[in-house]
């Protein structure tokens, strides 16, 4: 395959903005109308996800050891949409038609390269889906409790059926009848436990249909649907190093799951937790933070505010406060939250000498696409 030519071709379609995904979905629904039922009624929140996912595939197309696990994960995850092997050729035909439409230099060689690449992608995804056929494509989950912590943040506890297992730092997609066929990813704030409950933290975003519905409309007794867990923050259960945990906003959820993992399963180690916010009233889980700090002598909790001059808490961006308490060269670091905070904190840690492979990050942003991407990882 001429990978540079494929990337240049994809860049032309991506440069067309909304026109490319609009063309793709129009072609797909006209040529294969049976696929329309797999997508939400309104496509406004769906269009950009396609090319974001394709962009990740194109970026890794010459790095199969990196690409294949992503495709396998997508293949397993797409079972929740009702995706069947027969749907893949239809999607491939519409993809090639779209790439051709936006490239005046399209030729037979480029068409052959894309066809071969898509065939490989589809094969990996279909095989992964078939290997997961003994698991349900999605789980029912009853809302056991719904706590509105702030005007835009809620903590929900769910009871999945059948039993669902996940790892700290995983994310799980969620769908509600309040917003049918709109799936969004959330990070559990706990690890699996005896009562089977799963806790998620949700922040409502302007224009976020799922997050807004979950915060303002969902209630006890509602039934949600959960997709299979996917790895995001990639907690390392084999390491026994002391931990540095840094979170902002609902990035606290996966970090809380890491604390829960250490508390329940060990191994014993020192854990320093830093949680940042603009003002003190943004700490929506403060009672839980106090409980964890009180019950676990191996855990140290530091809260930092950047814009609250009246607060008695530490002042400054959380990354700045973290370095103030360092050094951290012997730690494994986990950082989750808004992009600016994550990038600033990770950059400061690297500049201080902490090796990059010991820093794991997850960005919680309203525009993140799919599983790759607020208790809400993707809206």
pLDDT value at residue 366: 52
Helices 108-131 and 64-77 cross at an angle (nearest 10°) of 60
Residue pair 188/201 in contact (Cβ under 8 Å)? The answer is: no
pLDDT value at residue 81: 82
Cβ-Cβ contacts under 8 Å for 334 (sequence gap 6 or more): 169, 233, 235, 243, 244, 245, 246, 254, 255, 258, 360, 361
232 φ, ψ (degrees, to nearest 5): -120, -65
pLDDT value at residue 365: 61
Which residue numbers in the chain have pLDDT < 70?
A: 41-48, 50, 232, 365-379
Q: List the one residue out of 210, 269, 201, 208 whose CA is nearest residue 235.
A: 269
* Structural domains in the chain plus CATH codes: 3-131 (1.10.490.10), 139-231 (2.40.30.10), 243-363 (3.40.50.80)
pLDDT value at residue 304: 96
Distance (Å) of CA 37 to CA 95, 360, 379: 19, 37, 21
Cβ-Cβ contacts under 8 Å for 159 (sequence gap 6 or more): 141, 142, 144, 196, 197, 198
Tokens matching residue 159: 């009871």
Distance (Å) of CA 13 to CA 23, 47, 59, 362: 10, 13, 15, 28
Report pLDDT digits (tens) over 66-111: 888 888 888 888 888 888 898 999 999 999 999 999 999 999 999 9
pLDDT value at residue 236: 85
Cα distance between residue 106 and residue 92, in whole Å: 16
Q: List the one residue out of 249, 141, 242 whose CA is nearest residue 205.
A: 249
Rounded to two decimals, what is the model's pTM? 0.81
367 φ, ψ (degrees, to nearest 5): -105, 5
Tokens matching residue 302: 């530091």
Residue pair 171/250 in contact (Cβ under 8 Å)? The answer is: no
């Amino acid at each position: 395959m001429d990978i540079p030519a494929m990337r240049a071709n994809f860049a032309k379609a991506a440069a067309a903005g909304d026109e490319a995904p609009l063309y793709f979905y129009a072609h797909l629904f006209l040529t294969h109308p049976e696929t329309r039922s797999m997508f939400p009624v309104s496509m406004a929140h769906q269009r950009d996800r396609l090319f974001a996912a394709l962009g990740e595939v194109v970026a890794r197309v010459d790095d199969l050891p990196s690409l294949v696990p992503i495709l396998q994960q997508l293949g397993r995850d797409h079972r929740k949409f009702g995706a069947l092997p027969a749907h893949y050729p239809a999607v491939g035909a519409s993809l090639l038609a779209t790439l051709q439409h936006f490239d005046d230099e399209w030729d037979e060689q480029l068409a052959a390269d894309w066809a071969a690449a898509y065939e490989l992608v589809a094969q990996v995804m279909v095989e992964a889906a078939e290997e997961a056929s003994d698991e349900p494509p999605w789980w029912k989950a009853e809302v056991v409790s719904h706590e509105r912590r702030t005007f835009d943040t809620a903590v929900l506890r769910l009871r999945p059926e059948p039993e669902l297992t996940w790892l700290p730092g995983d994310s799980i997609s969620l769908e509600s009848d309040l917003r049918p066929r709109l799936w969004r990813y959330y990070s559990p704030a706990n690890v699996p436990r005896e009562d089977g409950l799963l806790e998620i933290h949700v922040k409502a975003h302007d224009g976020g249909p799922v997050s807004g519905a979950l915060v303002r409309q969902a209630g006890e007794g509602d039934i949600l649907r959960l997709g299979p867990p996917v790895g995001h923050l990639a907690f390392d259960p084999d390491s026994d190093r002391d931990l540095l945990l840094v979170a902002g906003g609902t990035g606290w959820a996966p970090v809380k799951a890491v604390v829960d993992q250490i508390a329940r399963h060990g191994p014993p180690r020192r854990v320093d937790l830093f949680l940042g916010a603009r003002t003190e009233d943004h700490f929506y889980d403060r009672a839980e933070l106090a409980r964890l700090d009180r019950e676990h002598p191996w855990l140290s909790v530091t809260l930092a505010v950047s814009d609250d001059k009246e607060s008695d808490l530490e002042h400054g961006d959380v990354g700045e406060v973290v370095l103030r308490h360092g050094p951290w060269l012997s730690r494994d670091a986990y950082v989750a939250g808004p992009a600016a905070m994550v990038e600033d904190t990770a950059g400061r840690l690297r500049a201080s000498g902490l090796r990059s492979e010991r820093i794991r990050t997850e960005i919680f942003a309203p525009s993140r696409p799919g599983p790759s991407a607020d208790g809400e990882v993707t809206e």
